[in-house]
Amino acid sequence: MKYDLVKKENGIVEATIQLDAKEWSDSVEKAYQKNKAKYTVQGFRKGHAPKNVIEKVYGQGVFMQDALDDVFYMAYSQILREHEDIQPYQAPKMDIKKIDDNGIEILLEIPSTPEFTLADYKGLEFKKSEVKVTDEQVKNAIDRELMRGSRLVETNNPVKNDDTVTLDFEGFVDGKAFEGGKAEKYQLKIGSHSFIDTFEDQLVGLNVGDEKDVNVTFPTEYHQADLAGKPAVFKVKIHNIRERIMPELNDEFVQNSSEFDTVEQYTNNIREKLTEQANQNAEIEVDNRMLDTIVDNTKVSVPDTMVDSETDRMIRGMEAQLSYYGATLETYATQIGKTVSEIKANQRMMAERQVKGRLVLEKLIRTENIDVSEEDVDAKIAEIAETQGVKVEEYKNNIGENGINQIANELLMKKLLDFLRQNNTIK
- Residue range 230-263, pLDDT digits in tens: 999 999 999 999 999 999 999 999 999 999 999 9
Longest dimension (CA), the chain: 101
pTM: 0.70
The third-level CATH classification (topology) of the domain covering 272-426 is Trigger factor, domain 2 (1.10.3120)
| SS (HEC) of 276-329 | HHHHHHHHHHHHHHHHHHHHHHCCCCCCHHHHHHHHHHHHHHHHHHHHHCCCCH
Burial of 66 (0-12, 13-18, 19+ CB in 10 A): middle
Which segments of the chain belong to CATH 3.30.70.1050?
2-111
Between 286 and 55, where is the model more confident?
A: 286
H helix intervals, 120-241: 135-148
Which segments of the chain belong to CATH 1.10.3120.10?
272-426
Predicted local confidence at residue 420, as pLDDT: 97
Mean pLDDT of 109-113: 90
Cα–Cα distance, 350 to 360 (Å, whole number): 15
CB 426 within 8 A of CB 288: no
Mean pLDDT of 130-148: 94
Predicted local confidence at residue 61, as pLDDT: 85
Answer yes or no: CATH 3.40.50.1860 is held by domain 2-111.
no
Say if residue 326's pLDDT is above 80: yes
Q: What percent of the chain has pLDDT over 90?
A: 76
CB 120 within 8 A of CB 297: yes
CB 304 within 8 A of CB 11: no
Answer yes or no: CATH 2.60.120.620 is held by domain 151-245.
no
Mean pLDDT of the chain: 92
Predicted local confidence at residue 421, as pLDDT: 96
Which segments of the chain belong to CATH 3.10.50.40?
151-245
Mean pLDDT of 190-212: 94
323, HSE (Cβ side, Cα atoms, 13 Å)? 6
Between 80 and 325, where is the model more confident?
A: 80
Mean pLDDT of 355-374: 94
Q: What percent of the chain has pLDDT over 70?
A: 100
Say if residue 225's pLDDT is above 90: no
Cα–Cα distance, 81 to 62 (Å, whole number): 30
List pLDDT tens digits, range 140-182. 999 999 999 999 999 999 999 999 999 999 999 999 999 889 9
Mean pLDDT of 71-75: 91
How many Å separate Cα 306 from the centre of its chain? 16
Predicted local confidence at residue 335, as pLDDT: 75
Predicted local confidence at residue 30, as pLDDT: 92
Say if residue 103's pLDDT is above 80: yes
CB 218 within 8 A of CB 229: yes
Say if residue 354's pLDDT is above 90: yes
Predicted local confidence at residue 376, as pLDDT: 94
Cα–Cα distance, 305 to 9 (Å, whole number): 13
Mean pLDDT of 406-412: 95
CB 187 within 8 A of CB 164: yes
Going by C-alpha positions, the residue among 312, 332, 314 that lies closest to residue 322 is 332
Helix (H) or strand (E) holding 411: helix 392-423
Q: Which of 54-58, 348-352, 375-379 has the lowest mean pLDDT?
A: 54-58
